[in-house]
Every structure is written in C-alpha cells, then in structure tokens.
Amino acid sequence: MAIDVGESDFLFVLTGAGVSAESGIPTFRGAGGLWEGYRIEEVACPEAWEADPELVWKFYSWRRQKALACRPNPAHVALAEVEKRLGERMVICTQNVDELHEAAGSRRVLHMHGRLFQSRCEKCERPPFPDTNSYETLAAIPRCACGGRIRPHICWFGEVPFHMEEIFAALGRTTVFVSIGTSGVVYPAAAFVQSVRARCGKTVYIGLEAPENLPLFAERYLGKAGELVPRLLAISDL
Ligand code: OAD
C-alpha cells in the first residue's frame, strides 16, 4: 500500500489539525475541540478581538503553552523525509499554526493560517516578529510604537489567508494532492482538492474520520496520521 509519486509528479500536501493531534495539540472540532466552552469560530475572529482582546490572547496563550511542549510525530517526520527526496517537486500547505513540520525538518512549508509563535501589530505594517510569550490580562497585552495593540499572527475567520498566490501557483502544478487530518469545513483550504480534480490530478485523503469533502477524494485512507503517513508515503516507494 503506497501513494505513487512518480518522476514527473508534483506533490501538494495539505495538512490540518489531525496531523499534529498525536503530538498532543488539540484539534478544533470533535471531542475536546471546545476551549473553556467556546467554539474556535467564537475566539478566532476580528469581532472577538474587538470585543474582548484579553479572551483572545488567553486562548492563544493556552495554545502557545500547549504547543511549546509538543514534538513532531511520525507523520511530520515522514513528510520531511519525502521532501528530502522530492525537493522542489513538493510543498506542504498547512492550516496549522504550530511549528511541527519545521521541527521535523520540512523547509517548503506554507502557513496559510499564520504562525502561533509570531505576533504583529493590529494597525501598522510592522512585520510579524517571533513571540512565545503568554498574555493573560488586558494590561499585559503589549502596544506597538504606533499605539496599536499586539495581536497573534493568525488568520482569523473573515480574514484573507496568507501565501495564497504561492498556493495557487503550486496547485496549478500539482499532479498528486494529499490532504491529511483536516475536517474539510474551512475554506478556501477545503476547496483546493477541487482544483486538482479539475485538472485530473490524483487526490488522496488520510485522516481519522471522513471529512466533509470526502467524496472529492479518489483515494481515502481512514486512520491515524502517525501510522498511515509513514506507510503510505514510504520513501522507498517513491
Ligand atoms: P479540525 O479540528 O476541524 O479537524 C481535524 C481533523 O483531524 C478531523 O477530521 C479529525 O478526524 C482528524 N484527526 C484527529 N486526530 C487525527 C489523527 N491522529 N490522525 C489523523 N487525523 C486525525 O481541524 P482543521 O480541519 O485543521 O483555522 O481546521 C481547519 C481550521 O479551522 C484550522 O486551521 C483553524 C480552525 O479554525 C484558524 O484558526 C484560522
């Protein structure tokens, strides 16, 4: 059992929270998906930031603390091994804001939903900067020199994801599309598979349960990413 990636293929891997679940990072939906009774849509949006920045930072501070203690699992490691072999014929587009793909050794990673360990000004163009701090109170939230508050460098609901130009350029070259551990409900990521299907590319889903967009995938493998990814994308099979 293996996903066939040939000499002239371009591999696009879309990852979601499921790829990091076995590393100990909580997923957003399903069992354990709520944070203190809030759904992700209630804390990851500009409206929540306007109404209650302390609550929003409490949520991301909690996620930072969780993620700081996590290590890559065999799925991240297998993907990094595949990249060593394919080089520029592969890209990982992740919806995850953790650094676990990079920690495993992947270099060609596009973080479309931002990065948990970066912050930026809510107002000015100052670029995002590394930040592992936790901010638990309103008074603790730092201000930029321009007076704006510092916010997490995360794409919230209603905001435009990052790297879309590079993502669409990569999708335009893709012949093998593998989606791992994502529930298929958040757009535009959930629609990427359609653009590959439209160009007759191979489409594969790997994850614990059937995602919303499962019918769009020609090949489906249901199970844990940490077990399936190393088997399906085994380097010797490339
Ligand atoms: P979800 O929490 O919606 O879905 C996680 C998926 O991973 C589910 O389909 C699970 O069945 C699957 N899963 C759980 N454990 C797994 C395992 N060990 N191996 C394989 N699969 C497993 O997470 P996403 O689809 O990533 O965006 O969510 C998409 C976006 O919604 C996130 O990037 C985030 C969230 O709002 C922002 O915050 C902007």
Model pLDDT, residue 38: 85
Mean pLDDT of the chain: 95
82 located within any domain? yes
The whole domain housing 62 covers 34-69+121-154
**What is the atom index within ligand 1 of the atom nearest the CA of 183?**
9
233/137 same-domain check: no
Is position 132 within any domain?
yes
Substitution site in 95, 100, 156, 178 for ligand 1 pocket (most atoms within 8 Å of beta carbon): 95
- Distance of CA 227 from the midpoint of ligand 1 (Å): 17
Are 225 and 205 within 8 A, CB to CB? Answer: no
pLDDT surpasses 70 at 237? no
Q: Ligand 1 within 6 A of 28 CB?
A: yes
Which atom of ligand 1 is nearest to 22's Cα?
18
Residues 107 and 201 in one domain: yes
Lowest mean pLDDT among 4-8, 13-17, 33-37: 33-37
Q: Of the candidates 104, 138, 154, which is a domain's last residue? A: 154
| Nearest residue (CA) to ligand 1, atom 9 | 183
The CA-to-CA distance between both ends of the chain, in Å, stands at: 12
Which of these, 180, 201, 190, 173, lies nearest to 15 by C-alpha position?
180
Answer whether 44 contacts ligand 1 (Cβ < 6 A).
Answer: yes
Residue 102 shares a structural domain with residue 206: yes
Please check whether residues 126 and 180 belong to one and the same domain: no
Q: Are residues 131 and 200 in the same domain?
A: no
* Pair (208, 127) in one structural domain: no
Q: What's the total number of domains in the chain? A: 2
In a domain, 126, yes or no: yes
Q: Which residues are catalytic?
A: 113
44, 109, 152, 187 from 113: Cα distances, Å: 11, 12, 11, 11
Which H or E run includes 94? Answer: strand 90-94
> Same structural domain for residues 59 and 103?
no
User: Ligand 1: does its nearest atom lie under 6 Å from the Cβ of 16?
Assistant: yes
Are 172 and 224 contained in the same domain? yes
Q: Is the domain of 79 the same as that of 176?
A: yes
Q: Which residues pair with 143 in a beta bridge?
A: 149
Kindly state whether residue 6 falls inside one of the protein's structural domains.
Answer: no
β-strand partners of 234: none
User: Among residues 211, 218, 165, 181, which one has the least CA distance to residue 196?
Assistant: 218
Domain shared by 139 and 208, yes or no: no
Provide the CATH number for the domain around residue 182: 3.40.50.1220
Q: Is 159 in the pocket of ligand 1 (CB under 6 A)?
A: no
Asked whether residue 1 is domain-assigned, the answer is no
Is 134 in the same domain as 222?
Answer: no
Question: Does 106 map to a domain?
Answer: yes
The pTM score is 0.96
What is the tens place of the pLDDT at every residue in 150-197?
999 999 999 999 999 999 999 999 999 999 999 999 999 999 999 999
- How sure is the predictor about 2, in pLDDT bands with cuts at 50, 70 and 90? confident
Any atom of ligand 1 within 6 Å of the Cβ of 42:
no
Cβ-count burial 167-189 (b if 16+ within 10 Å, e if not):
beebbeebbbbbbbbbbbebeeb
Domain co-membership, 142 together with 79: no
